[in-house]
Amino acid sequence: MILFSKISYPTESVKKIAERFLEAPQVPDFMKKQGPFVHSSLEEGITTFSIYELDRSKLADGYEFLGNYMATFFGVPGFRYEFKASFEVQEALKMIGM
């Protein structure tokens, strides 16, 4: 399964975000990270996306890590985030008894 994260912030906060990024906790061994992938827009400013692959049995640990990771950026003006779990089709089918 994967955890998908999205972080956005205004361009005025780029330096503060970069400083905090360098201080953020490292991804634990039970997760494999892809990204962050960065893009910008007039509406959202800077947006980054990351994908964290992990075993479903580690979901609670993954959420705990991401919660602590996001807390690193609290207090940076305009910082917003979201993360959510996504299952592979086979995992989703198992969940409905197929």
In this predicted model, what pLDDT tens digit does every residue of 30-81 receive, in sequence order? 999 999 999 998 877 999 999 999 998 999 999 999 999 999 999 999 999 9
Which residues, in sequence order, are bridge partners of residue 7?
48, 81
Parallel, antiparallel or unpaired: strands 80-86 and 2-9: antiparallel
Tokens of 24: 């953020």
Quote the CA–CA distance of 85 and 52 in Å, as a whole number.
9
Give the pTM: 0.82
The pLDDT of residue 87: 74
The pLDDT of residue 1: 85
Rounded to the nearest 5°, which phi and psi values hold at 48?
-125, 145
Q: Is the pLDDT confidence value at 92 over 70?
A: no
CATH tag, 2-95: 3.30.70.360
What does the angle CA 82 – CA 63 – CA 11 come to, to the nearest 5 degrees? 30
Residue spans of the domains in the chain: they are 2-95
